[in-house]
Structure 1
Amino acid sequence: MRFDKGEYLARALPAGATDLGLQRKLKRIRMSLDWSRGKLTFSDPDTNTLLHTLKHTFTERLFPYISTVDKVPLKILPLKVRSSHHVRVLVLQLVQLFALLPQKQDSVVEEEINMYKLPMLWMSSRNRAA
């Protein structure tokens, strides 16, 4: 899921991007993986609105990859899950999500990670200040 040229898009290879048709900026995005049902859902936790669902038959371990492309600070917040171990939930609170204000080059990306024993989480941003 991404924000590009004023539109929220979802993409899963090999298919092209799908415009999600959202009319407002999001502050937080919830990602929920249901491995056994083959569903990865994106929702708005503030309104409890489903944004998009990807369906796939998972056969191998998944490795989450999240990137802000160094434009927006990112905070990953834990969420207590009271369901089977097949479901992993991460709530992403994207601080200043898609803000129109220019970002300073020396801005620091705030990262808080709670991995619920996921094998790996890569945080990536280009030209990030040390």
Structure 2
Amino acid sequence: MKKRVTLTFPQDTVQMPVTYRLAKDFNIAANIIRAQVAPNQVGKLVVELQGDIDAIEIALEWMKGKGILVSLASKEIVINEDICVDCGLCTGVCPTGALSLDPQTFRLKFTRQKCVVCEQCLPACPVQAIATNF
């Protein structure tokens, strides 16, 4: 079973080795999709958890008990083609290649299957044609 979650760490729990504990204590593989973590600051981690569904649920409860805010990451990227100017700035920050420019037409091409919803493309878009949808 796979489950994508967003973890928000309070300042006092940023130093906790969460992915290590997930693997060692709960036998869960954690694929980090996006991380914004710094000492003495609130941290965010988008992670895909893979393992037994019961173990994942127990691990999520353990994290909540440690003060970590857990929310399901059910967002997806949406591109407003009426606003998009096909500048390609978003393609430079897309880590998976989900966003690319068609070499024939020079129009933006979005491959949804490759997208991990890291949201790095949102601030890169100068005309705000990219958004997230729940």
TM-score category (smaller protein): under 0.3
Q: Pick the structure with more helix per residue.
A: 2
Pick the structure with greater CA Rg.
Answer: 2
